[in-house]
Structures are given as C-alpha cells and as structure tokens.
Amino acid sequence: MTALGVLLLAALGMACNLAFAQLVLQPDWALALLLGAMLAHRGVWWWVLPMAMAHDLVMYRSIWGLAPWTLLLPWLMAHLDFRLGPGLPQRMIFMLLALAPVLYFHWSVEAWLLTALAVVPIWHHLADYYAQRA
C-alpha cells in the first residue's frame, strides 16, 4: 500500500466518519490509518503530517489531535529504539498516547477502543509491507 493509497483511504475514512457519525458507532478511520502508518515506519511522517493536520482540523476543529504526535513519534521512536532496541511495548505505549485525543475531544470510549483495535492490524500489515519492500 503506497502513500497515496493510505492518504486516499484516510480521506475516505474521514468522509465515512462525518457521514455516518450519528447512525453507527465507528472508529476514527483516518486516525487508525495514519497512526498505523506512523507506527509501521517512522520515516513516513513527512507525508502523514499534512493529512494528520487536515484530519485534526476536520474532525476535531483543532490541530492538537494527531498532528503533534506526528512530529514527536519519529524522534521518540528513534531515541527509544537506540536506547532499548526496537520493540512492541514502546510502540503500544505510543499508540495509546496518540489515541488520547479521541477521548479528549469527547468521542465515546467504545469509539476509542474500536480505533485502537483498528490501528493494530493496519500497523502490522503496513510493517509487513515495508519489510518486504526493504
């Protein structure tokens, strides 16, 4: 899945969230895709950042949702990978911290949990994709 594919799916996810917000309990699809891409490979921040800012403005009406984490995660992951070695526990903590805005901006706990459950398979699929390309 290329950068364009992830960005188009994230835009589609935002459209689904806006269109069906009151009808169906659903995760934040765009956040799940963008965060999954960030956790899979820290070098993708440069194309995730513009969409993360657009996501925050559209969904939260603020830029303080995913966009700050898009800037912090590559540095934190590189620093902790150097200190502790690459590992799943610190990535899970980063995922939970990056999902905090979902609760802060008054989404339900169920939507937060669905978003967290959507991030994990996307993250692992993209990590496998990036590993095969390397």
Structure tokens at 79: 């620093």
Structure tokens at 106: 């008054």
Please tell me the predicted confidence (pLDDT) of residue 112. 94
CA pair distance 36, 26, nearest whole angstrom: 17
What residues of the chain score a pLDDT lower than 50? none
Please tell me the predicted confidence (pLDDT) of residue 19. 93
Confirm whether pTM is higher than 0.85: yes
* Of 36, 51, 1, 28, the residue nearest 119 (C-alpha): 36
Please tell me the predicted confidence (pLDDT) of residue 1. 64
Distance spanning both ends of the chain, measured CA to CA:
14
* DSSP-assigned letters across all residues of 62-93: SS-SSHHHHHHHHHHHHHHHHHH-S-HHHHHH
